[in-house]
Structure 1
Amino acid sequence: MNAKRVSAAAGVVLAAQKRRQTPAGIAAALEAAGLLQSPESAAELVRWRERTEEAETSEAQLKGQVRGLRAHVAELEARPSPAEVLRQVADQWAAHCPEHSDADDVWMDCPADWVFELRRAADERPEVSS
């Protein structure tokens, strides 16, 4: 006789009797508590519960990783494309050209050839789609 199992069963029976349950209700309470099972099936139930808990933990971890990856993708998508960067640089150079702008703060020789090359490279660069 397993004193621990007998004590647990007695507690379940006592609680069921306090609720004035029928013998079938008491048996159902014992089954729900896992006390009518063989030790092997009770151990198997414990293993399945542990595996379920592990799977739920893994699922939560994976969901966290997915959230992190989505945030990273959103950050990358918010960055300007290489073609946009090339066009911005070309516009900035053209704005400071002494021969092709009205800018007072000219700091370079005419970059028209380079501006043309930057814009051409931007136009040839394929756009990245999501």
Structure 2
Amino acid sequence: MNTLLDVLTGVCLVVGAMMSLAAAIGLLRFPDLMSRMHAATKPQVLGLLLMLAAVGLQMRSWALLPLLLVAWLFQLLTVPVSAHMVGRAGYRTKHRRPEMLSVDELDDVVAAVVEGESPDS
């Protein structure tokens, strides 16, 4: 039984590390802000989940489970919020590539705010 848990722990660690590495490579290699935001959020959260699962499997303590869940939930809740804020800041400061967007729904709203109008009118 210990060898099975050790193998599962190793698999979780390796796959989690590969997901985190994929996120890092995506941050360095992707061409624009929107692609980089995606690379920073999706694989990183899954990589952390797998790393925490490996810690839980290796430690074999039920007392550790709430701490691991809280750590993952905080990551799960804060990563999309931070990516959203980075995206908003990048959009407003023109760090985007409009030719890569299929639909730009914010263009009219931002233009109206810049002109001092209400975006709803």
Q: Which has the higher helix share?
A: 2
Rg larger in structure: 1
Structure with more relative contact order (C-alpha pairs < 8 Å, separation 6 or more): 2
In which range does the TM-score fall when normalised by the shorter chain?
Answer: 0.3 to 0.5
TM-score, with normalisation over the residues of structure 2? 0.32
